[in-house]
Amino acid sequence: FFMVGEMAKLFPVEAKKVESEGHTVGTHSFHHPFNFNRMTQDKAGREIDAGVDAVGAALGSSTKLAPFFRVPGFLTSKSTEAALASRGLMTWSADVPSDDWRGIGSAEIVRRTISRLEAKGRGILLFHDIHEHTVQALPEILKELKRNGYKVVQIVPANATIAKTATTSEQWRPRSE
């Protein structure tokens, strides 16, 4: 989960529940601005720090946060990347958008997600947990993934007991048929 700081601050019980159920929690800014690509490094840093602080507070400690960040709208820039790097945060993206933020129904979320994933062959799926249609679509998406032989994995930061997984860009390219 990439949590928006403002939402974690408003709903700390829900944020804590996500973490206590064993999910990896990264951050997604404080206000979810769609102008990270136009921010100075200092301004981006303030937005990043406020998000990290709010989510960490909701979880009870910033040590419970993964050093993972997703830029809202994927609108990044060199100054945003520099602000993230200086804080030791890894930027995440997605390969398969579900379009769940577009106000479509759950059946259409399932259709778009699965068809896009099938076209790519693998990838990181993007969902937004604040939409009811997404919640309704997820059980069917998970069934389809299992039926089609996909593996759902949890990404966790490396630590003293979990080794870093080294990969190359070739491993993340869609497989050719």
The predicted-structure confidence for 127-169, as pLDDT tens digits, reads as follows 998 899 999 999 999 999 999 999 888 999 988 888 888 776 6
Task: Give residue 169's pLDDT.
Answer: 62
Grouping H, G, I as helix, E, B as strand and the rest as coil, residue 98 is coil
Grouping H, G, I as helix, E, B as strand and the rest as coil, residue 68 is strand
| pLDDT value at 174 more than 80 | no
pLDDT in tens, 56-106: 999 999 999 999 999 999 999 999 999 999 999 999 999 999 999 999 999
Task: Give residue 11's pLDDT.
Answer: 97
Cα–Cα distance between 124 and 96 in angstroms, integer?
6
| pLDDT value at 40 more than 60 | yes
Please check whether residue 47 is in contact with residue 36, taking contact to mean a CB–CB distance below 8 angstroms.
yes
Rounded mean pLDDT of 44-49?
A: 98
- What percentage of the chain exceeds 70 in pLDDT? 94
